[in-house]
Structure 1
Amino acid sequence: MADDADRGRKSIGARRNPASAGAILDAAEAVLVEAGYSGFSIEAVARRARAGKPTIYRWWPSKAALLLEVYQRQKRVDIPDTGWLEEDLVGFLKSLLSHWRETSSGSVFRSLVAEAQSDPTAAAALADYAKGRHGHTGQMVERAQARGEVAEDIDAAIVADLIASWAWTRLLTDRLDENEATIRETVRYVMQGIASKTSRTGSR
């Protein structure tokens, strides 16, 4: 049964009520700032948002799912479209490492990755999130394929995984201060493996 606070924010079932969902996300951000990752709980979010726990769990099946949406809501990372994949990937990685380094989101995401190692619900939420985010990187590769820059038989999703793996390794090992030269060298290695024959023989 919903409590009084939950009745104050009427739910519309599995489909989110935008006002209630926004209040819950605002509350989750505030709890995360005040209590940190270790002190974050659905109970604390429910109290602050004046929402019932059933409502929160109806829209976010786990604490990890809610935290990932808070993380994504705060994320400010460039997805460049320069017309040249190497520059797109370098710009993306520079922006991502900078975001993780200069905001609290890096530590939140690192904690979520750690929790996913022992919590199946966190692992499932992280996998769903990664699938969507890697899609953005995959789109960069697909654009390059359409330009003839990347070989047609290259799987864009695998390239996206390779790029994400490099970034996640830096996050998990606290190496977010990689310089641009190292990022460019990494991207160049990837490009050597996926470039079309025309692109390899051409020049810029």
Structure 2
Amino acid sequence: MGLKIQQREANTERGTSKNGGKLGRRRSAKAERAIVDATLELLAEGSVSELTVEGVAARAGVGKTTIYRRWASKLPLVVEAIRALPELKVPNTGTLRGDLRQILAALVKILRTSPLGPVLLHVAAESRSDPELREAVSEHLALRRAPLLEVMRRALERGELPAGTDPDTLTELVAGPIVNRMLFATGPIDGRFIDVVIGTVLEGTAGMAGTSRRRRAS
């Protein structure tokens, strides 16, 4: 009996008891979540170049070996952290204005409740001078814009935007004021502000298209 008890205790310590596998996986998942969260926090506070595995380990409360068992270097850890950021969903209200109201309200919520804004700002800025970083994160940065681009493309197909409108430019014009106001705290971000942004961009786009048509006709 004593030997069996000792064996169970030894197995538990090694994580090989009957439930040891599940316990080990839960601990592993918890550690990975802590590491990714710590990476996001540090990226929000500073640049990628300032990020260190030692700093992440200290913030996450794990050893460096725990990080290196999962990620070979800092770069794949940064990519993993970006992938963990919340994503926008593509709305389907049936109108461009309705879709934009929903998706911009969702963007505001994400910016308020996650480190998305400062993380992407720091990573995008540094990737301009770091080819390796740019190659690693470019696809994931592009995915962040994909839902807004889809909204613009569908509006073009429905005829809600003038033919020839550039969805990429329109996406930047719509999202830019929201991100700018959030990062630099230049004023409140509420439904009224979102409507002003949408109205200004869409009316400006329609006005430019009308001017172009008149010039071609004259």
Distance 2:173 2:94 in 1: 21
Secondary structure of the corresponding residue to residue 82 of structure 1 = coil
The Cα of 1:147 is off from its aligned counterpart by: 1.2
Distance 1:174 1:124 in 2: 31
Query: After superposition, where does 1:9-158 map in structure 2 within 5 Å?
Result: 26-32=33-39, 36-37=42-43, 41-42=52-53, 44=56, 47-49=65-67, 51=69, 53-54=71-72, 61=75, 63-71=77-85, 75=86, 77-113=88-124, 115-116=126-127, 121-122=132-133, 127-158=138-169
Secondary structure of the corresponding residue to residue 51 of structure 1 = helix
Deviations 1:90-112 (A, max 9, x none): 22111111221133444444444
**Structure 1 residues 168 and 122: alpha-carbon distance in aligned structure 2, compared to 1, 3 A threshold:** farther
Q: Which amino acid aligns with 1:159?
A: L
Q: Which amino acid aligns with 1:139?
A: E
**How high is the TM-score relative to the length of structure 2?**
0.59
Distance 2:77 2:161 in 1: 39
Deviations 1:88-135 (A, max 9, x none): 112211111122113344444444456557655555555443322222
Deviates more, 1:22-31 or 1:133-142: 22-31
Judge conservation of contact 2:92–2:99 (CA < 8 Å) in 1: yes
Q: Which amino acid aligns with 1:65?
A: V
Deviations 1:167-202 (A, max 9, x none): 3322331357412111101111111234588xxxxx
Distance 1:24 1:40 in 2: 18
Choose 1 or 2 for highest CA Rg: 2
**Structure 1 residues 180 and 124: alpha-carbon distance in aligned structure 2, compared to 1, 3 A threshold:** farther
Distance 1:185 1:138 in 2: 20
> Residue 16 of structure 1 corresponds to which residue in structure 2?
none
**Structure 1 residues 173 and 140: alpha-carbon distance in aligned structure 2, compared to 1, 3 A threshold:** same
Distance 1:30 1:65 in 2: 13
- Greater per-residue helix proportion: 2
Q: Which amino acid aligns with 2:36?
A: E
> Residue 171 of structure 1 corresponds to which residue in structure 2?
182
Judge conservation of contact 1:64–1:122 (CA < 8 Å) in 2: no
Distance 1:117 1:92 in 2: 27
Distance 1:171 1:116 in 2: 22
Structure 1 vs Structure 2 CA RMSD? 3.7
Judge conservation of contact 2:89–2:147 (CA < 8 Å) in 1: no
- Runs of 5+ consecutive residues of structure 1 not aligned to the other structure: 1-21, 198-204
> Residue 6 of structure 1 corresponds to which residue in structure 2?
none
Secondary structure of the corresponding residue to residue 68 of structure 1 = helix
Distance 2:140 2:186 in 1: 22
Identity %: 20
